[in-house]
Chains A and B, each alone.
Chain A
């Protein structure tokens, strides 16, 4: 067992966790933040993607103990109070979600992508989402929503 401190969505948490506990499971089970989903066991589906110190990472492939001291943003922390993040708005506007299971991971991967590359080309979007699987939408609307979000976020900056 280890004693860890995590900052999740702006809130400090201290936890006792098993050394083998995955960050995804600690978020879901200990902190009841079930928006982060587990979709596979070979680190390839991306449903578990969260931001860790600003980078999109797969929380199913990070031990909670490795995240000690880190700033984590989950899907639950993306909105500012009642104000949804432009990526969330864009996903809905563009019908980039159907069943919604891959959606939190897809949105967080998008957040990671746009933080590093605010005006991605289509090819860069495809690369940016290479770690995320979706079975429902065929990705076409997801790519559109990333472009729409990028545009809105650029306008907000200006």
Chain B
């Protein structure tokens, strides 16, 4: 090791030296390789499927279609959340089969799988499949899919509607609009995106006949969640599945549950008695990873003559894609409603949303899962209304922030926000961004022929409530000098192990580099949540903190002994043990123990941590070159209240990542289908991604307001970057273009789109 090199995160050393263990790195002797045969049509009946030539190809060991897997117990792709309709109706559900059963409903839908000696052999053999399709009409546009002329995708869902949901109270909202001095209406599109974690989806499964356990290597977002959902999808018993805690190359919401390949590979590993591997190519992942966003949010705002917001109402259209998979219902119902008032004190709120089917890849959670989208819609609406009716956009916001004295604040549609000090964050962000002198900079840019704009967002979001009854953590000292901590929550790249070690160092006075955190150890029967909804730090972290408190109690007698005092005389304060003016450290105490005594020191910590409300104020300053329509982001400012910050460097990194993903949605990313449901953006050749330098300057600060909602006092940061950046960037672009008669534009704000809008406005 280099003299004095301590990695910033525990996770770093293996990753920077190429010693990581990602799924595709696993290579078992005799391992077979799978290839998926996918639909080329967006909507078709499969009249005839002939796989004989595939089976006969040299090197092919097994070929399966729907019936083969169902005979082995396969279920469907999981849809964990349902919602009741506006009038209490049950949701119409269309579950996706593991392999297509007679009808395909999106290009890329899995039809069959080939298992062979090598991946190339499986792919070569797959080309011999004969599929006789009866091509059907497609319905691709989420707004047109509910028209009487649109083809019906599922027999049980008239108008292609899965559920028509409502939240809030329509009557007071309608009354408010009736008496309002000012109203504004704005429809915004949060366009369909791809999540694009850099590690392509992959599964390696190996079955041990003696124990009856199938080990699965795959990128995931939570071992217990993946295991339980995979059990449902494959028909295997949950206790017969072991999800390996390997390195995960990003997740962003897409890896909470199994895909077809997971279920098929579990069954294949058992049937074939050997290890099996499937590694997706990026092109097939574009077709088959769940897509993200795909929301049309139609908002209206009612103001009194002084600019107080009287009511907000939304009519939303949620594109679920071809089937109900994983989180689309949750996004389109809970997540579009719980924070629909944003940071504002609004007496009346009402929303309706329709979750609809189209012949496209199913949509699920992508970083923020509806909350960045609704924050975007609200902040654009407030900004739009301000400009439409002559209010200063900052003053209008200030006037309507939830007053500090009003917390905990119960919103008009039932969410309780513990605290959100928008005014303080706004003031800090305005100062940081030199907002007050913006017009001077605008004039200077104009003298060079460029259009400068500044945009802000004051936002909050609700982090994940978790689905497990509680989070648990188990800690035990090991004879090799480490404190081993076991939990359920494992990372997909965020560096949780490092944060958890920091919590422990502070709470126990035990060095962070002598902590080893392990998620999903099979010998530990712990409860807990996966990573999702930005809750890992406060969820698992609170359980770990609770474990530390318990552990202090078990250490205390030894501390007393070390200091030569009675138990009652010793206490733990500021990281050390104190008694009568003497001090000692936890490390000193533990290191002096016999091995036998060391192993008696263990503790269980538990915590129940529900949603929290991370919030912030982000400001973006941009400069548009009217000659090309390109937008240059000059500087981005983020002031975030994330509650107690454990690892400032990791928090900054999360905000960077979230903001740049927001930049991607704002300026270049978009999934495009043609009218036949063919994916036109099927690779990085057509799906433009943010690259180095797109956000050259980002200043971020945190403003810590501890929450009482969990033991740790932290609020979660994973999705704040996206939530704040969509509205800040969009409002900045509008600020630059508004002087030229452009009041609204949908993302992505590509150069050609901005240029065309400016041309049109000139004419």
Contact = CB atoms under 8 A, between A and B. Distances in A.
A75 interface: yes
A138 interface: yes
Interface stretch (A38-46, A51-59, A64-72): A38-46
A107 B249 CA distance: 16
A10 to B, nearest CB: 15
A88 B17 CA distance: 8
A40 B684 contact: yes
A35 B17 contact: yes
B149 to A, nearest CB: 37
Nearest to A36: B18
A147 interface: no
A62 interface: no
Interface string B637-677: 00000000000011011001111110000000000000000
B614 interface: no
Interface string A62-104: 0000000000001110110011100011011111011111111
B692 A100 contact: no
A36 B137 CA distance: 44
A136 interface: yes
Interface in B242-282: 247-250, 252, 279, 281-282
Interface residues of A, number: 59
Contacts of A129: 691-692
A95 B653 contact: yes
A39 B658 CA distance: 20
A141 interface: yes
Interface string B576-610: 00000000000000000000000000000000000
A1 interface: no
Contacts of B196: 133, 135
B282 A42 contact: yes
Contact of B691 (A34, A35, A103, A139): A139
A146 B15 CA distance: 17
Interface in A97-151: 97-104, 107, 122-123, 125-126, 129-130, 132-143
B404 interface: no
Contacts of B432: none
Contacts of A99: 197-199, 247-250, 492-493
A33 B19 CA distance: 9
A136 B12 CA distance: 14
A155 B283 CA distance: 44
Contacts of A143: 692-693
A26 interface: no
Contacts of A84: 1-2, 5, 16-17
A133 B7 CA distance: 23
Interface magnitude class on chain B: 35 or more
B694 interface: yes
B292 to A, nearest CB: 12
Contact of B199 (A37, A126, A140): A37
Given A29-B27, A45-B282, A99-B247, A39 B693 contact: no
B494 interface: yes
B250 A136 contact: yes
A39 B282 contact: yes
B495 interface: yes
A39 B2 contact: no
A141 B684 contact: no
A104 B2 CA distance: 19
A139 B660 contact: yes
Contact of A82 (B1, B197, B493, B695): B1
Contacts of A107: 16
Given A133-B691, A143-B692, A39 B20 contact: no
A120 to B, nearest CB: 12
Nearest to B664: A135
A93 B252 CA distance: 24
A136 B495 CA distance: 11
Nearest to B698: A140
Interface in B729-761: none
A123 B19 CA distance: 31
Given A44-B684, A100-B20, A39 B653 contact: no
A24 to B, nearest CB: 11
B17 A101 contact: no
B24 interface: yes
Given A34-B24, A99-B250, A139-B660, 20 more contacts: A35-B17, A38-B279, A39-B199, A40-B200, A42-B683, A42-B685, A44-B683, A44-B685, A91-B12, A92-B7, A92-B8, A100-B15, A100-B20, A126-B692, A132-B691, A136-B653, A137-B656, A138-B657, A138-B661, A140-B695
29 contacts: A37-B198, A37-B199, A38-B279, A42-B685, A78-B17, A83-B2, A84-B2, A88-B16, A92-B5, A98-B653, A99-B249, A100-B12, A100-B14, A100-B20, A100-B247, A100-B493, A101-B198, A129-B691, A132-B692, A133-B689, A135-B198, A135-B689, A136-B250, A136-B493, A138-B656, A138-B661, A138-B690, A141-B656, A142-B692
Interface of A: 20, 28-29, 32-42, 44-45, 47, 74-76, 78-79, 82-84, 88-89, 91-95, 97-104, 107, 122-123, 125-126, 129-130, 132-143
